[in-house]
Structure 1
């Protein structure tokens, strides 16, 4: 059955923390295709991340994907390209309920992200609910008063500055969870492309421990099954374990290698 408007990713994470809970597994949706998004939504995974930071997704394609996955019991997060008040307003009005905000390097960055999701006086979100899918065009009773209940905010820790400030970021009211991105984190540590480096792993584990101490969920990106298992054992509450475009790329390469058997068809190493 489809999720209710009140069923946010925040609530799913709270349920995960309860008795009998388990980490939530998800995947990236980067193609920009509503058909692919719907296909992924029916996979049985817990959550999807529609990405607009490194993928060809604009307002129209995000809207189409939200509509395509609406009938499935999967939580959909959307990552904007930047922590921007105006863009976040547009995403929320489209009906995005779960945001993953990239490059949050400080408590001030986290506070700005939360403020962008709240109407005044708690925040700075512009008011246009009568025009917006978020309020189902004024069909959601008391939407203006209840909007905060329908939105979850996860902030991304992906720099040395963010790792250093993670305890303060976790204290920000309205930050529901943190998500660690090892790729950018490795780059900021001078270890570009070395997500498995012991220093990068130690930084990720530091963030997971800080989140546990603060009583908030923490997630991480890990395409390698061994790495994913390691971070789950280290306390990750949710995880991204694949991407639509990566699955298609590797699958099509495997077909070419099997049936064409060309010596120059190489399968590049998976990166994340």
Structure 2
């Protein structure tokens, strides 16, 4: 199966009047990605920043995404061209870069995703190319046209500089990170959610003014302005399901009957 191209796929879904909906995966087990792909999700965020996975785990997740028709996006640990290139060579179709706070940082991240002078290094024998350099011109052009570089807006600095960030050529998508932003602002993510919604509305409106699509976690009050979004993460979903299962069982658990061993012939 050919790998889905991020931008073309997102554009197609949006043209249908749907919001591309994804999920964060943090487990080292690629079965989680396969489950989401077979359940109808559109994209998956393979989390290398907070997830406990190495390169081999990431590659397994990428293969699972390819097999189940998901657009795979990798969140790298930091705005590092080597980490970005490594993820794309392995087969990522998009990159989420944490804590982008300025236009210069955004430009550096964009350059690392593009086959161009001073940008992404060229190597035809990697998983993303099916280990073949045939039709390199066509492949590199298609990748440059379809890769999504997504700054993560999760600091006060990022919010304050959102206008300059979304003005950078090559930044066509952004994602709003409410957890780190709440920490950076010194507020509570749940109790002060109204403040985060207000900041999100500013970020999303600024992005839309520049023709940039804005994404956010869904279900927190961001949905109305979100062009795309994520639903939870694999481990939090598993945790919630596990808690529901044990609570439901214990609420109706039958009383324990003490075990009474049968008498043996010798014991009579």
- Name the TM tier (shorter chain): 0.7 to 0.9
Q: Distance in 2 between matches of 1:170 and 1:134?
A: 28
Partner of residue 128, structure 1: 123
Indicate which of 137, 141, 154 corresponds to 2:135: 141
Q: Distance in 1 between matches of 2:207 and 2:43?
A: 20
Indicate which of 222, 233, 238 corresponds to 1:231: 222
Q: Secondary structure of the equivalent of 1:260?
A: helix
Q: Distance in 2 between matches of 1:236 and 1:159?
A: 19
Partner of residue 52, structure 1: 48
Partner of residue 39, structure 2: 43
The structure that has the greater radius of gyration is: 2
Aligned residues of 1:110 and 1:175 also touching (Cα < 8 A): yes
Q: CA deviation at 1:192?
A: 4.0
Question: TM-score by structure 1 length?
Answer: 0.85
Aligned residues of 1:186 and 1:194 also touching (Cα < 8 A): no
Aligned residues of 2:178 and 2:189 also touching (Cα < 8 A): no
Judged with a 3 Å threshold, the aligned counterparts in structure 2 of structure 1 residues 172 and 216 are, in CA distance, closer, same or farther, namely same
Q: CA deviation at 1:128?
A: 2.3
How many residues align structurally? 250
Offset from partner CA, 1:145-204 (integer Å, 9 cap, x none): 543134221111111110111111111111120000111111111114347522211101
Question: TM-score by structure 2 length?
Answer: 0.86
Aligned residues of 1:13 and 1:217 also touching (Cα < 8 A): no
Indicate the larger mover: 211-220 or 185-194: 185-194
Offset from partner CA, 1:38-69 (integer Å, 9 cap, x none): 11111111111111111112211010111122
Indicate which of 175, 180, 194 corresponds to 1:179: 175
- Counting only pairs closer than 5 Å after superposition, residues 91-240 of structure 1 correspond to structure 2 as 91-121=87-117, 123-129=118-124, 131-142=125-136, 143-194=139-190, 196-222=192-218, 225=219, 227=220, 230-233=221-224, 235-240=225-230
Partner of residue 19, structure 2: 23
Partner of residue 255, structure 2: none
Q: Distance in 1 between matches of 2:237 and 2:76?
A: 22
Judged with a 3 Å threshold, the aligned counterparts in structure 2 of structure 1 residues 195 and 98 are, in CA distance, closer, same or farther, namely farther
Aligned residues of 2:101 and 2:158 also touching (Cα < 8 A): yes
Q: Distance in 2 between matches of 1:126 and 1:157?
A: 27
Q: Distance in 2 between matches of 1:135 and 1:62?
A: 17
Aligned residues of 2:44 and 2:65 also touching (Cα < 8 A): no
Aligned residues of 1:178 and 1:217 also touching (Cα < 8 A): yes
- Uncovered stretches (5+) of structure 1, i.e. residues with no partner: 263-272
Q: CA deviation at 1:211?
A: 1.3
Judged with a 3 Å threshold, the aligned counterparts in structure 2 of structure 1 residues 71 and 259 are, in CA distance, closer, same or farther, namely same
Judged with a 3 Å threshold, the aligned counterparts in structure 2 of structure 1 residues 191 and 120 are, in CA distance, closer, same or farther, namely same
Q: Secondary structure of the equivalent of 1:120?
A: coil
Q: Distance in 1 between matches of 2:8 and 2:141?
A: 19
Judged with a 3 Å threshold, the aligned counterparts in structure 2 of structure 1 residues 140 and 253 are, in CA distance, closer, same or farther, namely farther
